[in-house]
Amino acid sequence: MRALPVLALGAFLLPLSVLAADPHSYAQPEQVRVTHLDLDLAVDFPRRQLDGTATLTLDWKNPKAAALVLDTRDLKIARVEGLDAAGRATALKFALAPRDKELGSKLTIQTPKHPAKVRIAYATVPTASGLQWLTPAQTADKKLPFMFSQSESIHARSWVPLQDSPAIRFTYTAHVTAPKDVRVVMSAINDAKHPLDGDFRFDQPHPIPSYLLAIAAGDIAVKETGPRSAVYAEPSVVGKAAHEFEDTGKLIEATETLYGPYAWGRYDILVLPPSFPFGGMENPNMTFATPTVLVGDKSLVSLVSHELAHSWSGNLVTAAAWRDIWLNEGFTTYVQGRITEAVYGKALADEEALLSARALQKSIGGMPANAQRLAPEPRGIGADDALSDVAYDKGSWFLRTLEQRFGRATFDGWLKGYFHRHAFTSITTEQMLADLKTNLFDAHPGVMDWSEVQAWVYQPGIPKDAPLPTSPRFDAIDRERAAFLAGTLDAGQLDAKGWNTQEWMYFLDRLPDVPPLSKMKQLDAVWHLTGTPNAEIGMRWYSHAIAAGDQAVWEAAREHMTRIGRMYLTLPVYKAFAATPEGLAYAKAAYAQAKDGYHPMTQGAIESILAKAAKGK
């Protein structure tokens, strides 16, 4: 693929593509910008919809602008009104454009008199891509229905009409009604003692991008884990979750020591039902988390470190477009490692960094060249596709490289200042690089050549001299794995009794893609990996065992992938099944039974795997 066309801009190069408007939004913020959102919504479980009004406060940028353009997807618009400064309402003409598969429908509202606010009455559809509606049977306690949102990347438009671009930040308030006994929570300050009276109000005074707008409602109990933190979950889960996340206060304090005060007031965690498609979502004040991290030994609480880190990198300083999403995820993965090191020790942080780096080394060569760049050319990259291992793992690897070259103290000073200088703003890769050049490179000349930065950001692949941490325990596992595969070490002789989750992950990750069937059966006979309650280990085990041809694991693998909706832990097992005709038929049958329990995003991803496999056959 050709190199990115560039313009000279000061000390670095600016790709022409970033000068264009956000390709994943219809919004025209240069004409008018939304500054505040006021929601008044009702949660209707029988109809599986939210309905009510969204009132947008507007900042008119162009005196000649004649329309307000918003993003929507499958919303049913009842009416639109303009509100003047005195609150008087006037009906406005509007038009919904034909639906685009990815972007949804452009909503154009005629606003020749530039109203101070626009109020839109609307309802969502049961299949809204950013909402999932669960029956009581699909929840842990099976008493009440459950609903939750997942707005990242461009799914907020499926439940609120707005300017759905990370470049546009707004404050919001909300009034939400729901059936009594149901608790509603949002990405704002939540009152743990709020009565379950069906009437909830929320206020988010900090400007956030639309993908951080979040809501959930269901049978939700609360347990405090500290003066600034609590866990929310179904009653049968909340105690276990509170134990697993009891170190949340320590994590907040460790991050504040590194990067400055926590800006959001409270940091609460909502543990969702298993269908949640991600490990966690960093919604301000209320992280949404998967129950797959509740393994009892805190071995997977790095997820909390990651989502908490987003309170600085992502929520406080936000990527201005999905092409720049490594500014959120790469920075956050780096900060996650620093939090883990501060609270749980350097050995664990190094193991997690090595796991991600080795996985990226294995996968990056199979990606298109553009997808291997931290800042790719945005054309042809979907908003969801931008959230790849490159953004997370190459991005954090780049920052670890800077830390090694400049020294931790110097790099920490720059990073803390970076968060302060850009707080509550959305920036591009090029703006970050300008800050890096001025405040780190120019302040400490001769340490690192700027061409190395450009290679990391704009070139495909991983630089050959990229530094890696060392892990004596991983080195020992490498030797044992090699001896086991060579037949000089039996499965029972593996020194695995003391392995933590990360060490089992590393052992399994670096097995051959299609390991010998006899070796997999030996492992299972000794270490009983089939049926493991640890989903991280299970995903790796089932994928390799299926690839080896071990049909004895199929039933347990099916239970794993139909019970868990987290895509990262489910899709690899579907892919392993889909590699053979018999396995593909089995996976199709499993999906047909489990489909209704998956999130719409997970459904789409699984259907894509099955369709590609069927076409290939």
Q: How far apart are CA 392 and CA 574, in angstroms?
A: 23
Segment 113-133, tens digit of pLDDT? 999 999 999 999 999 999 999
Measured CA angle at 284 (ends 203, 425), to 5 deg: 95
Q: Is the pLDDT assigned to residue 8 strictly greater than 80?
A: no
Task: Please give the CATH number for the structural domain made up of 220-311.
Answer: 3.30.2010.30
**pTM of the full structure:** 0.93
CATH class of 472-616: mainly alpha
Coil/strand/helix, residue 335: helix
**pLDDT for res 423:** 98
Determine contact, residues 274/237, Cβ cutoff 8 Å: no
Which token pair is 508?
């399994």
User: Would you call 392 a catalytic residue per the annotation?
Assistant: yes
**pLDDT for res 261:** 97
Amino acid at 554: W
The per-residue DSSP string of 205-261 comes to EEEEEGGG--EEEES-EEEEEETTEEEEE-HHHHHHHHHHTTTHHHHHHHHHHHH--
Pick the catalytic residue: 122, 172, 267, 392? 392
Percent of the chain with pLDDT over 90: 93
User: Would you call 307 a catalytic residue per the annotation?
Assistant: yes
Q: How far apart are CA 153 and CA 520, in angstroms?
A: 38
Which token pair is 15?
């790709």
Segment 304-332, tens digit of pLDDT? 999 999 999 999 999 999 999 999 999 99
Determine contact, residues 432/457, Cβ cutoff 8 Å: no
**pLDDT for res 387:** 82
**pLDDT for res 10:** 33
Q: Is 87 left (phi over 0), alpha (psi -120 to 50) or beta?
A: left
Domain extents in the chain: 26-209, 220-311, 316-458, 472-616
The per-residue DSSP string of 560-616 comes to HHHH---HHHHHHHHHHHTTSHHHHHHHHHHHHHHGGGS-HHHHHHHHHHHHHHHHH
Segment 184-215, tens digit of pLDDT? 999 999 999 999 999 999 999 999 999 999 99
Q: How far apart are CA 301 and CA 96, in angstroms?
A: 44
Q: Is cis: bond before 236, omega within 30 of 0? A: no
**pLDDT for res 298:** 87
Determine contact, residues 182/196, Cβ cutoff 8 Å: yes
Amino acid at 292: T
For helices 501-509 and 346-363, angle between their N-to-C axes, nearest 10 degrees: 20
Pick the catalytic residue: 307, 377, 430, 536? 307
What homologous superfamily is domain 316-458 in, according to CATH? Neutral Protease Domain 2 (1.10.390.10)
Confidence class of residue 617 from pLDDT cuts 50, 70 and 90?
low
Q: How far apart are CA 207 and CA 188, in angstroms?
A: 11
Amino acid at 124: T
* N-term to C-term CA, the chain: 29
Q: How far apart are CA 286 and CA 228, in angstroms?
A: 12
Q: How far apart are CA 614 and CA 588, in angstroms?
A: 10
For 317, residues 6+ apart whose C-beta sits below 8 A from its C-beta are 327, 331, 418, 419, 422, 423, 425, 427
User: Torsions phi, psi of 74, nearest 5?
Assistant: 65, 25
Q: Is cis: bond before 153, omega within 30 of 0? A: yes
Segment 463-500, tens digit of pLDDT? 999 999 999 999 999 999 999 999 999 999 999 999 99
Amino acid at 40: D
Confidence class of residue 300 from pLDDT cuts 50, 70 and 90?
confident
For 4, residues 6+ apart whose C-beta sits below 8 A from its C-beta are 15, 16, 17, 377, 458
Confidence class of residue 504 from pLDDT cuts 50, 70 and 90?
very high
For 93, residues 6+ apart whose C-beta sits below 8 A from its C-beta are 80, 109, 110
Determine contact, residues 342/308, Cβ cutoff 8 Å: no
Q: What is the CA radius of gyration of the chain?
A: 24
| CB-count burial class (<10 Å; 0-12, 13-18, 19+) for 475 | exposed
Query: How many CA within 13 A on the CB side of residue 92?
Result: 28
Segment 592-610, tens digit of pLDDT? 999 999 999 999 999 999 9
User: Torsions phi, psi of 552, nearest 5?
Assistant: -65, -20
**pLDDT for res 509:** 96
* Domain 26-209, classified CATH 3.30.360.10, yes or no: no
**pLDDT for res 146:** 98
DSSP class of residue 93 equals -
Per-residue b or e along 582-610, where b marks 16 or more CB atoms closer than 10 Å to that residue's CB: ebbebbbebbeebeebbbbbbbebbeebb
**CA dist list (Å): 581 to 184, 339, 563:** 45, 45, 23
Q: Is the pLDDT assigned to residue 5 strictly greater than 60?
A: no
Amino acid at 236: S
User: Which whole number is the average pLDDT over 437-466?
Assistant: 97
Average pLDDT over the chain, rounded to whole? 94
Q: How far apart are CA 248 and CA 308, in angstroms?
A: 9
Helix locations, 345-389, DSSP H: 346-363, 389
Residue whose entry in the numeric block shows the structure tokens 């300050």: 189
Segment 9-43, tens digit of pLDDT? 333 333 333 335 799 999 999 999 999 999 999 99
Q: How far apart are CA 617 and CA 599, in angstroms?
A: 27
